[in-house]
């Protein structure tokens, strides 16, 4: 039979708090049998740790560990750690406790390589016997004010360039491909849609086949014992793929918006030295399966407090594109066929002695041809036959 039953009840049903909030809880204790204890306490603990193992030989392995503690607060309802034992009689009791969280805490995290955990732990310190314990976890979200980093409000433009050849030799150069990622700002609120402009400038003799844009999360875990070691985990949160062709010596603009996913748990791990989290936009321009793509990576920062003078976290910064980076939309004329009358030519020579011959021509009037203009769309243009990537003279390479 269980001698003691603990129930820890928080003031919030989801047990989720922001850094700096006050955690209020009730400790329900039910004692079923008489025993002696030195104290009854409720302890609030916040810590992070990392751990994994690596094999050193066929029969041995090394365990790598890292640990970090943020707070440890004891609240005694009676007695002390080394006080005298007291009789505990059967019955039910309810105790209240509260604790104000520090303002610089990292968010809660659970991962096979490590975790950041916040718990409330109840304990009866029993004299000369096993202690009675119980623990309940609650969750913390870090608070990040984007106004503390004014540079995050500025427009961001990352440019990457890759040179391509027809073959392995550098003498057969095919040209360069530029990949430009533009964001109105680099600081975004949690669960806020992220707008991205990607410009592909193809200055090569190859055709770009596929454009991909990904929102990625990178977790880095660090250990300190027996020696420093790291593990990295990269996950794709959202992605777009455009199966469109950017022909030779042309450019094209792609506009993307990553909407918030209510099921996604964003991680803000500020002030944690053994677990780091980064978010970034990664763009790819694929020529074909045989060549490595052009890659562009742009880092973003997530926060919980928006910029001042900003509605719903939307940046008022207007992006100005350079003319050479914009897509050249070539209008296609559509000619409406109309019947054209046949030319009527009447020649009437007038001849006189000592005079030249004058020819007069009567041409029928030709009606004007009506022309309608249409513009190309970036993403919905119909497939067209394009020239191959390689010159016939180079096909043997």
204 falls in which pLDDT band (50, 70, 90)?
very high
| Predicted local distance difference test score (pLDDT) of residue 128 | 81
Residue 148 dihedral angles phi and psi, to the nearest 5°: -70, -15
Closest CA to 19 of 163, 164, 139, 174: 139
pLDDT at residue 263, rounded to an integer: 79
What mean pLDDT is reported for the chain? 81
Let me know if domain 146-325 sits in CATH 3.40.50.1970.
no
| pLDDT on residue 103 | 94
CA distances 265 to 22, 49, 165, Å, are: 22, 20, 43
Q: 3-class SS at 350? A: strand
To the question of domain 4-141 being in CATH 2.60.40.640, the answer is: yes
Q: Which pTM does this prediction carry?
A: 0.74
Evaluate if residue 100 carries a pLDDT over 90. Answer: yes
What's the pLDDT at 170?
60
In terms of Cα–Cα distance, which of 5, 49, 47, 12 is closest to 27?
A: 5
**What residue ranges of the chain are covered by domains with CATH 2.60.40.640?**
4-141, 146-325
The tens digit of pLDDT for each residue in 246-274 reads 999 999 999 999 997 777 888 999 899 99
Q: How much of the chain, in percent, has pLDDT values that exceed 70? A: 76
Nearest Cα to 123, choosing from 240, 202, 39, 49?
A: 39
H or E stretch covering 23: strand 22-31
Distance of CA 49 to the CA centre of its chain: 25
pLDDT over 80 (residue 203): yes
């Amino acid at each position: 039979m269980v001698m003691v039953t603990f129930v820890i009840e928080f003031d919030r049903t989801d047990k989720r708090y922001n850094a700096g909030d006050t955690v209020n809880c009730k400790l329900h204790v039910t004692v079923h049998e008489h025993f002696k204890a030195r104290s009854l306490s409720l302890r609030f603990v916040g810590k992070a740790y990392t751990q994994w193992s690596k094999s050193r030989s066929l029969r041995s392995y090394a365990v790598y560990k890292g640990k970090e503690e943020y707070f440890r607060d004891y609240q005694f309802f009676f007695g002390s750690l080394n006080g005298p034992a007291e009789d505990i009689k059967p019955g039910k009791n309810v105790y209240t406790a509260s604790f104000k969280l520090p303002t610089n805490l990292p968010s809660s995290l659970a991962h096979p390589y490590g975790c950041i955990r916040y718990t409330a732990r109840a304990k009866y310190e029993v004299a000369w016997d096993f202690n009675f314990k119980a623990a309940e976890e609650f969750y913390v979200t870090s608070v990040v004010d984007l106004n503390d980093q004014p540079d995050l409000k500025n427009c961001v433009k990352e440019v990457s360039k890759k040179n391509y050849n027809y073959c392995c030799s550098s003498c057969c150069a095919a040209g360069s491909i530029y990949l430009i990622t533009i964001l109105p700002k680099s600081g975004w609120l949690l669960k806020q849609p992220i707008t991205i402009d990607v410009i592909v400038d193809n200055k090569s003799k190859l055709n770009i086949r596929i454009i991909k844009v990904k929102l990625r999360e990178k977790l880095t875990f660090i250990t300190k014992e027996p020696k420093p070691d790291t593990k990295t985990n990269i996950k794709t949160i959202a992605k777009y793929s455009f199966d469109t062709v950017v022909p030779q010596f042309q450019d094209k603009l792609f506009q993307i918006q990553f909407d918030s996913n209510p099921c996604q748990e964003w991680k803000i791990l500020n002030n944690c030295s053994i677990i780091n989290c980064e978010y970034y936009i990664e763009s790819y321009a694929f020529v074909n399966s045989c060549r490595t793509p052009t890659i562009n990576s742009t880092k973003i920062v997530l926060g919980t407090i928006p910029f001042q003078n900003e509605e719903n976290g939307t940046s008022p910064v207007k992006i100005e594109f350079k003319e050479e980076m914009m897509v050249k939309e070539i209008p296609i004329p559509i000619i409406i066929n109309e019947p054209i009358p046949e030319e009527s030519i009447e020649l009437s020579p007038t001849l006189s002695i000592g005079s030249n011959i004058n020819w007069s021509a009567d041409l029928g009037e030709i009606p004007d041809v009506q022309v309608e203009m249409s513009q190309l769309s970036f993403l919905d243009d119909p497939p067209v036959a394009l020239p191959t990537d390689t010159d016939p003279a180079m096909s043997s390479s």
